[in-house]
Copies of this chain bind each other. A is one copy, B any other.
Amino acid sequence: MNSGSSTVPGLAALVWPATIARVGSIAPACAATLGFGVRPPTIASFFAPVRLVATVGQDFPELHVKLLRDRGVDVRGLQVASGRTFRWTGAYGYDLNEARTLDTQLNVFADFRPALDDTQSRTPYLFLANIDPELQLEVLRQMRTRPRLVALDTMNFWIKGKRDALLRVLREVDVVTINDGEARQLADEPNLVKAARKIAALGPRTVVVKRGEYGALLLDDSAFFVVPAYPLESVFDPTGAGDTFAGGFMGYLAFRDRSDSATVRRAMVYGSVMASFTVEDFSLRRLTRLGPADIAERYAAFYELIRLEP
């Protein structure tokens, strides 16, 4: 059994600035281990400039903030509140597919009220990470220009406890990312295909269902696409693979500044590429050794992995 413990900066919204940038100048990766909550901005920063709106406690290591800055992430939206950082501790069984939560401490996250400044509120690609859907809606209300694309992540806790608020915000987003068990729960439907269609009917044009070691399922404009997880010989730490996926997915869409069907499919694969690097080592260690050539090479390997002649 493996176990993980992570400090999360109460990730609320990743707010993406102008996007046509950085293709040939992906910055060198961070130089130390980070908790999984900083993964999405770190991962996304491989593709496009990133703004982060989040809260952390006074115990959050200054080193981690420096590392985000070193990767070019705009951390002006990172509030340091008095108290301790959100903390999740979990454990994995034999198949590394399902995490069991051992401990969750909300800490400073309990009082988090995201406030976007003028620049942040005009960001074209917005990722509403997994927080209270009322806060997600509040962030959306603060946007002064409608983003070109809004994605939302959620989980069982909100599906059960804040269902009405979640349904309200779902009506206004373009993309939802959710794991398979939670998709079934949200749609109240055991069949995953029907569940994805029911979720799309709630608002989002695009539904991304994360399936752990089995990859991810996309429903986009009524068509399905399936991307497997990359077959790895060593899976050390699945913590945050789903978050990493979201970072790669959003980063690629922001980088391309489009979301047609072919681009969304490629974004699914880039999400899977980044997740495959994440699980190869504990925490963010693998990412610290990652360069653009590695990303391009693994994308090509994914292409080969699912390549079928007509």
* Copy count, this protein chain: 2
Taken together as a complex, chains A and B put the C-alpha atoms of A266 and B94 apart, in Å, by: 33
> Interface code A186-197, partner B: CB below 8 Å = 1, 0 otherwise?
000011111000
A266 touching B308 in the complex, CB below 8 Å, given contacts A214-B214, A231-B192: yes
A260-310: which have CB < 8 Å to B? 262, 265-266, 269, 300, 302-310
CB distance A223 to B309 under 8 Å?
Answer: no
Q: Is the interface of A mostly helix, strand, loop or mixed?
A: mixed
A81 beta carbon closer than 8 Å to chain B: no
In the complex, which residues of chain B have a beta carbon less than 8 angstroms from the beta carbon of A62? none
A233 beta carbon closer than 8 Å to chain B: yes
Residue in B193, B214, B308 whose beta carbon sits within 8 Å of that of A231 in the complex: B193
CB distance B231 to A228 under 8 Å?
Answer: no
A234 beta carbon closer than 8 Å to chain B: yes
Taken together as a complex, chains A and B put the C-alpha atoms of A305 and B226 apart, in Å, by: 6
A235 beta carbon closer than 8 Å to chain B: yes
CB distance from A301 to the nearest CB of B (A): 9
Taken together as a complex, chains A and B put the C-alpha atoms of A232 and B280 apart, in Å, by: 32
In the complex, which residues of chain B have a beta carbon less than 8 angstroms from the beta carbon of A193? 231-233
CB distance B306 to A226 under 8 Å?
Answer: yes
CB distance A217 to B231 under 8 Å?
Answer: yes
A224 beta carbon closer than 8 Å to chain B: yes
In the complex, which residues of chain B have a beta carbon less than 8 angstroms from the beta carbon of A157? none
Residue in B190, B211, B269, B310 whose beta carbon sits within 8 Å of that of A308 in the complex: B269
Taken together as a complex, chains A and B put the C-alpha atoms of A265 and B309 apart, in Å, by: 8
Taken together as a complex, chains A and B put the C-alpha atoms of A120 and B233 apart, in Å, by: 41
A189-241: which have CB < 8 Å to B? 190-194, 211, 214-215, 217, 223-228, 231-235
CB distance A235 to B265 under 8 Å?
Answer: no
Taken together as a complex, chains A and B put the C-alpha atoms of A194 and B231 apart, in Å, by: 9
In the complex, which residues of chain B have a beta carbon less than 8 angstroms from the beta carbon of A214? 211, 214
CB distance B217 to A226 under 8 Å?
Answer: no
CB distance A306 to B309 under 8 Å?
Answer: no
CB distance from A205 to the nearest CB of B (A): 18
CB distance B265 to A308 under 8 Å?
Answer: yes
CB distance B231 to A224 under 8 Å?
Answer: yes
In the complex, which residues of chain B have a beta carbon less than 8 angstroms from the beta carbon of A303? 308, 310
What are the 3 A-B residue pairs with the smallest beta carbon separation, nearest first? A226-B228, A193-B231, A214-B214
A interface residue numbers (CB < 8 A to B): 94-95, 190-194, 211, 214-215, 217, 223-228, 231-235, 262, 265-266, 269, 300, 302-310
